[in-house]
Amino acid sequence: MIGRLQCIVLDCPDPAVLARFYAGLLGGEVDRPDPRWSLNDDWSTLHTPGGPVLCFQRVADHRPPRWPDPAHPQQAHLDVDVPDLATAEPAVLALGATLLRDAGGWRSYADPAGHPLCLLPARR
């Protein structure tokens, strides 16, 4: 095991609106303080009763997906907590990931099919 799933992130035009929608659908707590991220107008969260955390990030000029139309991608990615980025990177690359961006405190990769995922240092 390289890491632990932190959350599932959905792109959207208004994070607070989408967080409240999913809270109505699934229950849970919107924007509960959590040391893993900062809450602001561009980022909202939903801690669901079953455990998974959904996160919603603002994307300028958001174009909603039109499943199954490949011209409009599904716009979601996984955030994965890892104990150490320097150790996790060679392991995830060996599995077939490709580095997309090193943002300093975290790194973005594409999985073998091109879906984005982020490795973040675990904070708890």
Hey, what are 92's tokens?
Answer: 């995830």
Residue 66: CB atoms within 10 Å: 11
Hey, what are 83's tokens?
Answer: 């104990």
Is pLDDT of 106 > 70?
yes
**Which pLDDT value is given to residue 73?**
77
Residue 88 near residue 119, CB atoms below 8 Å: yes
49-103: pLDDT as tens digits:
989 999 999 999 888 887 778 887 778 888 999 999 999 999 999 999 999 999 8
**Which pLDDT value is given to residue 5?**
94
- State the chain's mean pLDDT as an integer: 91
Give the domain ranges of the chain.
Answer: 4-121
**Which pLDDT value is given to residue 78?**
87
Q: Give the whole-angstrom CA distance, residue 96 versus residue 12.
A: 28
Is pLDDT of 27 > 80?
yes
CATH of 4-121, one of 3.40.50.1980, 3.40.50.2300, 3.40.50.11540, 3.10.180.10: 3.10.180.10
